[in-house]
Homo-oligomer: A and B are copies of this chain.
Amino acid sequence: MTMMPNWLDKRAYLTPNLEAIVLKNGESYTFKQLQNDSKAYATFLSQQGFKKGDHIAVLSSNCYEFAVVVHALHYIGAVAFLLNTRLTTGELVFQLEDGEVSGFIYHPTYENTAKELLNHHPFSIFSTNLKKPEEIIEFPSEINLEDVSHILYTSGTTGHPKGVQLTYGNHYWSATSSALNLGIDEKDRWLLSLPMFHVGGLSILYRSVIYGMPVHLHEKFDLEAIHHDIMEGGVTIVSVVTVMLEQLMERLGSDLYPDSFRCMLLGGGPAPKVLLEQCQQKQVPVYQSYGMTETASQFCTLDKGSMLSKIGSSGKPLFPGQLKIVENNQECSVNEVGEIEVKGPNVTKGYWKRPEANDKTFQDGWLKTGDLGYLDEDGFLYVVDRRKDLIISGGENVYPAEIESIFKGLEGIEDVGVVGVKDERWGEVPVAFVVKKNNAVTAETILHDASQYLAKYKVPKKVYFLEELPRNASRKLQRHKLLELLEGGGSS
Protein backbone atom coordinates (compact mmCIF):
# COMPACT_ATOMS: atom_id res chain seq x y z
CA MET A 1 0.00 0.00 0.00
CA THR A 2 1.61 3.26 -1.09
CA MET A 3 0.05 6.40 0.33
CA MET A 4 0.77 9.89 -0.87
CA PRO A 5 -0.79 13.32 -0.54
CA ASN A 6 -3.78 14.18 -2.73
CA TRP A 7 -2.05 15.47 -5.86
CA LEU A 8 -3.92 18.71 -6.27
CA ASP A 9 -3.55 19.56 -2.56
CA LYS A 10 0.16 18.91 -2.80
CA ARG A 11 0.57 20.92 -5.98
CA ALA A 12 -1.45 23.84 -4.62
CA TYR A 13 0.80 23.75 -1.53
CA LEU A 14 4.02 23.63 -3.57
CA THR A 15 3.20 26.20 -6.25
CA PRO A 16 -0.17 27.82 -5.47
CA ASN A 17 0.21 30.72 -7.88
CA LEU A 18 1.50 28.83 -10.88
CA GLU A 19 -0.86 28.61 -13.86
CA ALA A 20 -2.59 25.24 -13.93
CA ILE A 21 -4.98 25.68 -16.83
CA VAL A 22 -4.94 28.22 -19.64
CA LEU A 23 -7.95 28.39 -21.93
CA LYS A 24 -8.01 29.26 -25.62
CA ASN A 25 -9.43 32.68 -24.85
CA GLY A 26 -6.45 33.42 -22.60
CA GLU A 27 -8.36 32.99 -19.34
CA SER A 28 -6.24 31.12 -16.84
CA TYR A 29 -6.56 29.40 -13.47
CA THR A 30 -3.84 28.83 -10.89
CA PHE A 31 -3.41 25.59 -9.00
CA LYS A 32 -4.84 27.30 -5.95
CA GLN A 33 -7.99 28.29 -7.88
CA LEU A 34 -8.30 24.81 -9.34
CA GLN A 35 -8.01 23.40 -5.83
CA ASN A 36 -10.63 25.79 -4.43
CA ASP A 37 -13.08 25.08 -7.23
CA SER A 38 -12.52 21.33 -7.03
CA LYS A 39 -13.01 21.27 -3.27
CA ALA A 40 -16.18 23.33 -3.66
CA TYR A 41 -17.54 20.88 -6.21
CA ALA A 42 -16.49 17.95 -4.01
CA THR A 43 -18.26 19.53 -1.05
CA PHE A 44 -21.40 19.79 -3.17
CA LEU A 45 -21.13 16.11 -4.21
CA SER A 46 -20.57 15.11 -0.65
CA GLN A 47 -23.66 17.05 0.41
CA GLN A 48 -25.63 15.06 -2.19
CA GLY A 49 -24.61 11.91 -0.32
CA PHE A 50 -21.80 10.72 -2.59
CA LYS A 51 -18.88 9.00 -0.92
CA LYS A 52 -15.72 6.97 -1.41
CA GLY A 53 -16.09 4.13 -3.91
CA ASP A 54 -19.23 5.48 -5.61
CA HIS A 55 -19.38 5.19 -9.39
CA ILE A 56 -19.96 8.56 -11.01
CA ALA A 57 -20.12 9.25 -14.74
CA VAL A 58 -19.08 12.48 -16.44
CA LEU A 59 -20.30 13.57 -19.86
CA SER A 60 -18.45 16.64 -21.06
CA SER A 61 -16.20 18.00 -23.75
CA ASN A 62 -12.91 19.54 -22.67
CA CYS A 63 -13.37 22.59 -20.48
CA TYR A 64 -12.16 23.98 -17.17
CA GLU A 65 -15.24 22.60 -15.40
CA PHE A 66 -14.40 19.08 -16.60
CA ALA A 67 -10.97 19.36 -14.96
CA VAL A 68 -12.59 20.63 -11.78
CA VAL A 69 -14.97 17.66 -11.71
CA VAL A 70 -12.13 15.16 -12.29
CA HIS A 71 -10.29 16.51 -9.24
CA ALA A 72 -13.49 16.82 -7.20
CA LEU A 73 -14.14 13.12 -7.70
CA HIS A 74 -10.66 12.36 -6.32
CA TYR A 75 -11.42 14.39 -3.20
CA ILE A 76 -14.50 12.32 -2.43
CA GLY A 77 -12.74 9.12 -3.55
CA ALA A 78 -15.31 8.25 -6.22
CA VAL A 79 -14.55 6.13 -9.27
CA ALA A 80 -14.92 8.28 -12.39
CA PHE A 81 -16.53 6.99 -15.59
CA LEU A 82 -15.53 9.47 -18.27
CA LEU A 83 -17.96 9.05 -21.15
CA ASN A 84 -17.20 9.53 -24.81
CA THR A 85 -19.46 12.38 -25.92
CA ARG A 86 -19.76 10.87 -29.39
CA LEU A 87 -21.54 7.72 -28.24
CA THR A 88 -25.25 7.08 -28.83
CA THR A 89 -27.76 6.75 -26.04
CA GLY A 90 -27.67 2.97 -26.32
CA GLU A 91 -23.91 2.87 -26.07
CA LEU A 92 -23.96 5.16 -23.05
CA VAL A 93 -26.70 3.21 -21.30
CA PHE A 94 -24.63 0.05 -21.66
CA GLN A 95 -21.72 1.63 -19.78
CA LEU A 96 -23.93 3.14 -17.08
CA GLU A 97 -25.61 -0.20 -16.40
CA ASP A 98 -22.51 -2.33 -16.70
CA GLY A 99 -20.63 0.13 -14.52
CA GLU A 100 -23.34 0.34 -11.83
CA VAL A 101 -23.16 4.10 -12.03
CA SER A 102 -25.16 5.99 -9.42
CA GLY A 103 -24.25 9.59 -10.20
CA PHE A 104 -24.10 11.49 -13.47
CA ILE A 105 -22.42 14.83 -14.11
CA TYR A 106 -23.05 16.53 -17.44
CA HIS A 107 -21.88 19.68 -19.13
CA PRO A 108 -24.93 21.88 -19.92
CA THR A 109 -24.36 21.16 -23.65
CA TYR A 110 -25.38 17.59 -22.93
CA GLU A 111 -28.41 18.30 -20.77
CA ASN A 112 -30.83 16.65 -23.18
CA THR A 113 -28.71 13.51 -23.41
CA ALA A 114 -28.48 13.38 -19.63
CA LYS A 115 -32.23 13.64 -19.26
CA GLU A 116 -32.80 11.01 -21.88
CA LEU A 117 -30.37 8.63 -20.18
CA LEU A 118 -32.38 9.06 -17.02
CA ASN A 119 -35.26 7.28 -18.79
CA HIS A 120 -33.07 4.20 -19.13
CA HIS A 121 -30.99 4.12 -15.99
CA PRO A 122 -31.61 5.61 -12.55
CA PHE A 123 -29.06 8.02 -11.08
CA SER A 124 -28.74 11.50 -9.64
CA ILE A 125 -27.74 14.09 -12.22
CA PHE A 126 -25.91 17.41 -11.87
CA SER A 127 -24.40 19.88 -14.24
CA THR A 128 -20.70 20.69 -14.29
CA ASN A 129 -21.44 24.33 -13.43
CA LEU A 130 -19.09 25.43 -10.66
CA LYS A 131 -20.63 25.20 -7.20
CA LYS A 132 -20.30 27.66 -4.33
CA PRO A 133 -21.23 25.87 -1.11
CA GLU A 134 -21.29 28.03 2.00
CA GLU A 135 -18.47 26.14 3.61
CA ILE A 136 -15.83 23.83 2.17
CA ILE A 137 -15.59 20.55 4.05
CA GLU A 138 -12.41 18.62 4.90
CA PHE A 139 -11.33 15.76 2.64
CA PRO A 140 -8.83 12.97 3.30
CA SER A 141 -5.33 14.34 2.78
CA GLU A 142 -3.96 11.12 1.31
CA ILE A 143 -4.64 8.86 -1.62
CA ASN A 144 -3.79 5.18 -1.87
CA LEU A 145 -2.04 4.47 -5.17
CA GLU A 146 -3.79 1.10 -5.36
CA ASP A 147 -7.28 2.60 -5.33
CA VAL A 148 -9.19 2.66 -8.62
CA SER A 149 -9.68 6.23 -9.79
CA HIS A 150 -11.29 5.57 -13.19
CA ILE A 151 -13.13 2.99 -15.21
CA LEU A 152 -12.80 3.82 -18.91
CA TYR A 153 -14.56 1.72 -21.52
CA THR A 154 -12.86 0.16 -24.51
CA SER A 155 -14.46 -2.28 -26.88
CA GLY A 156 -11.83 -4.86 -27.73
CA THR A 157 -12.25 -7.73 -30.14
CA THR A 158 -15.33 -9.27 -28.60
CA GLY A 159 -17.62 -6.40 -29.43
CA HIS A 160 -18.73 -5.97 -25.82
CA PRO A 161 -17.17 -2.83 -24.36
CA LYS A 162 -15.14 -3.54 -21.23
CA GLY A 163 -14.35 -1.14 -18.39
CA VAL A 164 -10.59 -0.68 -17.92
CA GLN A 165 -9.85 -0.06 -14.24
CA LEU A 166 -7.12 2.52 -13.76
CA THR A 167 -5.62 3.26 -10.35
CA TYR A 168 -4.00 6.43 -9.04
CA GLY A 169 -0.77 4.45 -9.20
CA ASN A 170 -1.24 3.73 -12.92
CA HIS A 171 -1.53 7.48 -13.58
CA TYR A 172 1.38 8.41 -11.30
CA TRP A 173 3.73 5.88 -12.83
CA SER A 174 2.66 6.95 -16.29
CA ALA A 175 3.36 10.62 -15.54
CA THR A 176 6.77 10.02 -13.96
CA SER A 177 7.78 7.54 -16.67
CA SER A 178 6.94 10.01 -19.40
CA ALA A 179 9.06 12.61 -17.59
CA LEU A 180 12.05 10.28 -17.55
CA ASN A 181 11.84 10.06 -21.33
CA LEU A 182 10.82 13.58 -22.34
CA GLY A 183 12.49 15.43 -19.47
CA ILE A 184 10.88 18.18 -17.41
CA ASP A 185 11.60 21.80 -18.16
CA GLU A 186 10.33 24.64 -16.02
CA LYS A 187 9.18 26.39 -19.20
CA ASP A 188 7.01 23.50 -20.31
CA ARG A 189 3.41 24.13 -21.37
CA TRP A 190 1.48 21.13 -22.67
CA LEU A 191 -1.36 21.65 -25.13
CA LEU A 192 -4.36 19.40 -24.51
CA SER A 193 -6.87 19.15 -27.34
CA LEU A 194 -7.43 15.38 -27.28
CA PRO A 195 -10.63 14.51 -25.47
CA MET A 196 -10.13 14.30 -21.72
CA PHE A 197 -12.52 11.34 -21.57
CA HIS A 198 -9.78 9.34 -23.31
CA VAL A 199 -6.63 8.46 -21.47
CA GLY A 200 -4.48 10.38 -23.97
CA GLY A 201 -6.07 13.65 -22.89
CA LEU A 202 -6.71 12.78 -19.25
CA SER A 203 -3.05 11.86 -18.64
CA ILE A 204 -1.98 15.42 -19.54
CA LEU A 205 -4.14 16.73 -16.71
CA TYR A 206 -2.21 14.51 -14.28
CA ARG A 207 1.17 15.48 -15.69
CA SER A 208 0.14 19.09 -15.10
CA VAL A 209 -0.59 18.59 -11.43
CA ILE A 210 2.32 16.21 -10.77
CA TYR A 211 4.97 18.25 -12.62
CA GLY A 212 3.56 21.66 -11.76
CA MET A 213 3.07 22.57 -15.42
CA PRO A 214 0.45 24.71 -17.15
CA VAL A 215 -1.91 22.92 -19.52
CA HIS A 216 -3.29 24.83 -22.49
CA LEU A 217 -6.76 23.33 -22.57
CA HIS A 218 -8.62 23.41 -25.90
CA GLU A 219 -12.13 22.16 -26.26
CA LYS A 220 -11.23 20.34 -29.43
CA PHE A 221 -8.81 20.32 -32.34
CA ASP A 222 -9.05 23.85 -33.70
CA LEU A 223 -6.21 24.10 -36.20
CA GLU A 224 -5.80 27.89 -36.11
CA ALA A 225 -5.99 28.09 -32.33
CA ILE A 226 -3.43 25.34 -31.83
CA HIS A 227 -1.09 26.75 -34.44
CA HIS A 228 -1.34 30.12 -32.72
CA ASP A 229 -0.70 28.66 -29.26
CA ILE A 230 2.48 27.01 -30.51
CA MET A 231 3.70 30.06 -32.44
CA GLU A 232 2.79 32.71 -29.86
CA GLY A 233 1.49 31.10 -26.68
CA GLY A 234 4.64 29.45 -25.39
CA VAL A 235 3.36 25.90 -25.81
CA THR A 236 6.32 23.47 -25.78
CA ILE A 237 4.59 20.07 -26.07
CA VAL A 238 1.50 18.98 -28.00
CA SER A 239 -0.16 15.57 -27.92
CA VAL A 240 -1.49 14.68 -31.35
CA VAL A 241 -2.82 11.86 -33.49
CA THR A 242 -1.78 11.50 -37.11
CA VAL A 243 -4.64 13.44 -38.68
CA MET A 244 -3.91 16.42 -36.43
CA LEU A 245 -0.21 16.35 -37.14
CA GLU A 246 -0.84 16.34 -40.88
CA GLN A 247 -2.98 19.44 -40.66
CA LEU A 248 -0.53 21.20 -38.37
CA MET A 249 2.33 20.55 -40.78
CA GLU A 250 0.30 21.84 -43.70
CA ARG A 251 -0.60 24.95 -41.72
CA LEU A 252 3.02 25.48 -40.72
CA GLY A 253 4.00 25.66 -44.38
CA SER A 254 7.55 26.87 -44.78
CA ASP A 255 7.66 28.53 -41.35
CA LEU A 256 9.39 27.03 -38.33
CA TYR A 257 8.10 26.58 -34.80
CA PRO A 258 9.83 28.62 -32.08
CA ASP A 259 13.02 27.06 -30.66
CA SER A 260 11.29 26.47 -27.34
CA PHE A 261 8.84 24.05 -28.96
CA ARG A 262 10.23 20.65 -28.09
CA CYS A 263 7.81 17.78 -28.62
CA MET A 264 4.94 16.48 -30.72
CA LEU A 265 3.84 13.41 -28.79
CA LEU A 266 2.21 11.24 -31.44
CA GLY A 267 -0.17 8.51 -30.39
CA GLY A 268 -3.27 6.73 -31.60
CA GLY A 269 -1.97 4.49 -34.32
CA PRO A 270 0.69 4.35 -36.99
CA ALA A 271 1.83 7.43 -38.91
CA PRO A 272 2.80 7.48 -42.58
CA LYS A 273 6.54 7.62 -43.13
CA VAL A 274 6.18 10.54 -45.52
CA LEU A 275 4.60 12.62 -42.76
CA LEU A 276 7.40 11.81 -40.33
CA GLU A 277 9.98 12.78 -42.94
CA GLN A 278 8.14 16.01 -43.57
CA CYS A 279 8.29 16.80 -39.83
CA GLN A 280 11.99 16.08 -39.91
CA GLN A 281 12.49 18.61 -42.66
CA LYS A 282 10.58 21.21 -40.68
CA GLN A 283 12.65 20.41 -37.58
CA VAL A 284 9.57 19.37 -35.65
CA PRO A 285 10.55 16.72 -33.09
CA VAL A 286 7.97 13.94 -33.27
CA TYR A 287 7.97 11.33 -30.51
CA GLN A 288 6.03 8.38 -31.87
CA SER A 289 4.43 6.37 -29.12
CA TYR A 290 2.50 3.19 -28.50
CA GLY A 291 -0.06 2.88 -25.77
CA MET A 292 -3.67 2.16 -24.94
CA THR A 293 -6.25 2.77 -22.24
CA GLU A 294 -4.96 -0.33 -20.46
CA THR A 295 -1.50 1.25 -20.06
CA ALA A 296 -2.78 4.66 -18.84
CA SER A 297 -1.44 6.29 -22.07
CA GLN A 298 2.07 5.91 -23.55
CA PHE A 299 3.78 2.61 -22.90
CA CYS A 300 6.55 2.96 -25.49
CA THR A 301 7.88 6.23 -26.85
CA LEU A 302 10.68 6.92 -29.25
CA ASP A 303 13.45 8.88 -27.55
CA LYS A 304 14.88 12.04 -29.00
CA GLY A 305 18.19 10.48 -29.94
CA SER A 306 16.53 7.84 -32.13
CA MET A 307 13.87 9.96 -33.82
CA LEU A 308 15.74 10.17 -37.10
CA SER A 309 17.46 6.80 -37.19
CA LYS A 310 14.36 4.79 -36.26
CA ILE A 311 11.64 6.48 -38.21
CA GLY A 312 8.39 4.51 -38.02
CA SER A 313 9.26 2.83 -34.74
CA SER A 314 7.27 3.39 -31.55
CA GLY A 315 10.48 3.29 -29.52
CA LYS A 316 11.15 1.31 -26.39
CA PRO A 317 9.05 0.81 -23.26
CA LEU A 318 9.39 3.69 -20.81
CA PHE A 319 11.69 3.15 -17.84
CA PRO A 320 9.55 0.95 -15.52
CA GLY A 321 7.89 -1.02 -18.35
CA GLN A 322 8.68 -4.39 -19.90
CA LEU A 323 7.65 -5.63 -23.33
CA LYS A 324 7.98 -8.92 -25.17
CA ILE A 325 6.87 -10.33 -28.51
CA VAL A 326 5.23 -13.74 -28.23
CA GLU A 327 4.14 -16.32 -30.78
CA ASN A 328 2.90 -19.76 -29.77
CA ASN A 329 3.90 -19.10 -26.15
CA GLN A 330 7.49 -18.54 -27.22
CA GLU A 331 9.34 -15.24 -27.14
CA CYS A 332 10.12 -14.23 -30.71
CA SER A 333 13.59 -13.51 -31.97
CA VAL A 334 14.75 -10.22 -33.46
CA ASN A 335 12.60 -8.94 -36.34
CA GLU A 336 10.08 -11.76 -35.88
CA VAL A 337 6.44 -10.67 -35.71
CA GLY A 338 4.28 -11.79 -32.80
CA GLU A 339 1.78 -10.53 -30.25
CA ILE A 340 2.93 -7.59 -28.14
CA GLU A 341 2.77 -8.27 -24.40
CA VAL A 342 3.43 -5.57 -21.80
CA LYS A 343 4.00 -5.39 -18.06
CA GLY A 344 4.57 -2.51 -15.70
CA PRO A 345 3.20 -0.40 -12.87
CA ASN A 346 1.21 1.75 -15.31
CA VAL A 347 -0.70 -1.28 -16.64
CA THR A 348 -4.32 -1.80 -15.49
CA LYS A 349 -4.99 -4.50 -12.95
CA GLY A 350 -7.89 -5.72 -15.07
CA TYR A 351 -11.33 -5.15 -16.55
CA TRP A 352 -14.30 -4.38 -14.33
CA LYS A 353 -16.48 -7.49 -13.83
CA ARG A 354 -14.90 -9.45 -16.69
CA PRO A 355 -13.22 -12.48 -15.08
CA GLU A 356 -13.10 -14.37 -18.36
CA ALA A 357 -11.56 -11.54 -20.32
CA ASN A 358 -9.10 -11.02 -17.48
CA ASP A 359 -8.09 -14.67 -17.50
CA LYS A 360 -7.53 -14.51 -21.24
CA THR A 361 -5.72 -11.18 -21.23
CA PHE A 362 -3.51 -11.21 -18.14
CA GLN A 363 -0.89 -13.74 -17.15
CA ASP A 364 1.76 -13.30 -14.44
CA GLY A 365 1.33 -9.55 -14.64
CA TRP A 366 1.68 -9.50 -18.44
CA LEU A 367 -1.06 -7.98 -20.58
CA LYS A 368 -1.62 -9.56 -23.98
CA THR A 369 -2.41 -6.55 -26.14
CA GLY A 370 -3.63 -8.41 -29.22
CA ASP A 371 -1.46 -6.06 -31.28
CA LEU A 372 1.19 -7.45 -33.56
CA GLY A 373 4.73 -6.16 -33.80
CA TYR A 374 8.41 -6.94 -33.70
CA LEU A 375 11.57 -5.69 -32.07
CA ASP A 376 14.51 -4.80 -34.27
CA GLU A 377 18.13 -5.66 -33.48
CA ASP A 378 18.41 -2.63 -31.18
CA GLY A 379 15.23 -3.49 -29.32
CA PHE A 380 12.99 -0.84 -30.95
CA LEU A 381 9.33 -1.73 -31.32
CA TYR A 382 7.59 -1.65 -34.69
CA VAL A 383 3.83 -2.14 -34.52
CA VAL A 384 2.79 -3.92 -37.69
CA ASP A 385 -0.88 -4.43 -36.97
CA ARG A 386 -3.14 -3.12 -34.30
CA ARG A 387 -5.33 -5.45 -32.28
CA LYS A 388 -6.63 -7.91 -34.82
CA ASP A 389 -9.24 -6.06 -36.88
CA LEU A 390 -9.03 -2.86 -34.90
CA ILE A 391 -9.68 0.22 -37.00
CA ILE A 392 -8.17 3.50 -35.81
CA SER A 393 -10.10 6.40 -37.24
CA GLY A 394 -8.88 9.88 -36.39
CA GLY A 395 -7.42 8.54 -33.14
CA GLU A 396 -10.64 6.79 -32.06
CA ASN A 397 -10.68 3.00 -31.73
CA VAL A 398 -13.32 1.32 -33.86
CA TYR A 399 -13.97 -2.38 -33.39
CA PRO A 400 -15.56 -4.26 -36.34
CA ALA A 401 -17.15 -6.78 -33.97
CA GLU A 402 -19.06 -4.01 -32.21
CA ILE A 403 -20.42 -2.61 -35.50
CA GLU A 404 -21.30 -6.09 -36.74
CA SER A 405 -23.28 -6.87 -33.62
CA ILE A 406 -25.35 -3.69 -34.13
CA PHE A 407 -25.87 -4.40 -37.84
CA LYS A 408 -27.09 -7.91 -37.09
CA GLY A 409 -29.88 -6.40 -35.01
CA LEU A 410 -31.08 -4.16 -37.87
CA GLU A 411 -34.07 -4.99 -39.99
CA GLY A 412 -33.45 -6.83 -43.27
CA ILE A 413 -29.84 -7.82 -42.65
CA GLU A 414 -28.87 -11.48 -42.90
CA ASP A 415 -25.13 -11.28 -42.34
CA VAL A 416 -22.45 -8.62 -42.10
CA GLY A 417 -18.69 -8.18 -42.02
CA VAL A 418 -16.82 -4.95 -41.29
CA VAL A 419 -13.25 -4.01 -42.18
CA GLY A 420 -11.18 -0.84 -42.13
CA VAL A 421 -9.97 0.83 -45.28
CA LYS A 422 -7.37 3.55 -45.68
CA ASP A 423 -8.68 7.09 -45.65
CA GLU A 424 -6.73 10.22 -46.49
CA ARG A 425 -8.24 12.28 -43.72
CA TRP A 426 -8.93 9.84 -40.88
CA GLY A 427 -6.22 7.25 -41.44
CA GLU A 428 -8.81 4.51 -41.59
CA VAL A 429 -12.59 4.28 -41.79
CA PRO A 430 -14.90 1.28 -41.40
CA VAL A 431 -16.82 -0.16 -44.35
CA ALA A 432 -19.47 -2.90 -44.17
CA PHE A 433 -20.21 -5.94 -46.32
CA VAL A 434 -23.85 -6.91 -46.02
CA VAL A 435 -25.94 -9.90 -47.06
CA LYS A 436 -29.55 -8.68 -47.35
CA LYS A 437 -32.64 -10.58 -46.22
CA ASN A 438 -34.77 -8.79 -48.80
CA ASN A 439 -34.52 -6.07 -51.36
CA ALA A 440 -36.32 -3.44 -49.28
CA VAL A 441 -33.07 -2.42 -47.59
CA THR A 442 -30.59 -0.07 -49.19
CA ALA A 443 -27.26 1.31 -48.11
CA GLU A 444 -29.07 4.50 -47.09
CA THR A 445 -31.67 2.79 -44.87
CA ILE A 446 -29.01 0.65 -43.23
CA LEU A 447 -26.73 3.60 -42.45
CA HIS A 448 -29.67 5.63 -41.21
CA ASP A 449 -30.72 2.82 -38.88
CA ALA A 450 -27.16 2.14 -37.71
CA SER A 451 -26.56 5.75 -36.76
CA GLN A 452 -29.26 5.42 -34.10
CA TYR A 453 -27.01 3.02 -32.23
CA LEU A 454 -23.47 3.86 -33.22
CA ALA A 455 -21.36 6.92 -32.63
CA LYS A 456 -20.82 8.73 -35.92
CA TYR A 457 -17.17 7.74 -36.26
CA LYS A 458 -18.19 4.07 -36.01
CA VAL A 459 -20.82 4.22 -38.74
CA PRO A 460 -19.37 2.59 -41.89
CA LYS A 461 -18.53 5.01 -44.64
CA LYS A 462 -19.74 2.58 -47.27
CA VAL A 463 -21.93 -0.50 -47.55
CA TYR A 464 -21.15 -3.23 -50.06
CA PHE A 465 -23.68 -5.96 -50.78
CA LEU A 466 -22.67 -9.58 -51.21
CA GLU A 467 -24.57 -12.85 -51.83
CA GLU A 468 -22.54 -14.55 -49.13
CA LEU A 469 -19.69 -13.63 -46.82
CA PRO A 470 -16.38 -15.46 -47.01
CA ARG A 471 -16.28 -17.71 -43.93
CA ASN A 472 -13.99 -20.58 -43.11
CA ALA A 473 -15.06 -24.12 -42.19
CA SER A 474 -15.82 -23.13 -38.62
CA ARG A 475 -17.88 -20.20 -39.97
CA LYS A 476 -15.31 -17.65 -38.86
CA LEU A 477 -15.38 -14.53 -40.99
CA GLN A 478 -12.32 -14.20 -43.22
CA ARG A 479 -11.77 -10.49 -43.16
CA HIS A 480 -8.70 -10.57 -45.35
CA LYS A 481 -10.91 -11.92 -48.16
CA LEU A 482 -13.19 -8.90 -47.76
CA LEU A 483 -10.16 -6.67 -48.15
CA GLU A 484 -9.16 -8.57 -51.29
CA LEU A 485 -12.63 -7.99 -52.69
CA LEU A 486 -12.17 -4.28 -52.15
CA GLU A 487 -8.87 -4.25 -53.93
CA GLY A 488 -10.57 -6.04 -56.81
CA GLY A 489 -13.45 -3.50 -56.66
CA GLY A 490 -16.84 -4.19 -54.97
CA SER A 491 -20.39 -3.07 -55.76
CA SER A 492 -21.70 -0.29 -53.54
Chain A residues proximal to chain B, CB less than 8 Å: 2-5, 10, 13-15, 141-142, 176, 179-180, 183-186, 210-212, 303-305, 316, 319-322, 343-345, 365, 379
Contact = CB atoms under 8 A, between A and B. Distances in A.
21 contacts: A2-B345, A4-B319, A4-B344, A5-B321, A5-B322, A13-B316, A13-B379, A14-B303, A14-B316, A14-B319, A15-B303, A176-B176, A179-B184, A180-B184, A180-B210, A180-B211, A183-B183, A183-B184, A183-B185, A183-B186, A184-B184
Contacts of A13: 316, 379
A36 to B, nearest CB: 16
A272 B346 CA distance: 43
Contact of A319 (B210, B303, B304, B305): B210
A471 to B, nearest CB: 43
A15 to B, nearest CB: 7
Main secondary structure of the interface of A (DSSP, over half): mixed
Nearest to A4: B320
Given A14-B316, A14-B319, A210-B319, A4 B345 contact: yes
A176 to B, nearest CB: 5
Contacts of A179: 176, 179-180, 184
Contacts of A3: 343, 345, 365
A123 B70 CA distance: 57
A74 B316 CA distance: 23
B320 A5 contact: yes
A95 to B, nearest CB: 30
B183 A305 contact: no
A42 to B, nearest CB: 20
A179 B181 CA distance: 12
Nearest to A141: B322
Contacts of A14: 303, 316, 319
Given A10-B319, A180-B210, 14 more contacts: A2-B345, A3-B343, A3-B365, A4-B319, A4-B321, A5-B322, A14-B319, A15-B305, A142-B322, A176-B176, A179-B180, A179-B184, A180-B212, A185-B185
| Most-contacted residue by chain B among A14, A304, A379 (CB, 10 A) | A14
A142 B366 CA distance: 13
Central interface residue in A5, A141, A142, A211, by most chain B CB within 10 Å? A5
Contacts of A10: 319
Contact of A304 (B186, B322, B365): B186
Contacts of A303: 14-15
Nearest to A177: B176
Contacts of A305: 15
Contacts of A176: 176, 179-180
Nearest to A184: B183
A5 B320 CA distance: 6
A4 B169 CA distance: 14
A346 B25 CA distance: 41
A219 to B, nearest CB: 29
A142 B345 CA distance: 12
Nearest to A17: B305
A185 B13 CA distance: 25
Contacts of A343: 3
A362 B186 CA distance: 36
Nearest to A209: B319
Contacts of A321: 4-5
Contacts of A4: 319-322, 344-345
A186 B183 CA distance: 7
A210 B3 CA distance: 22
A211 B177 CA distance: 10
A186 B210 CA distance: 20
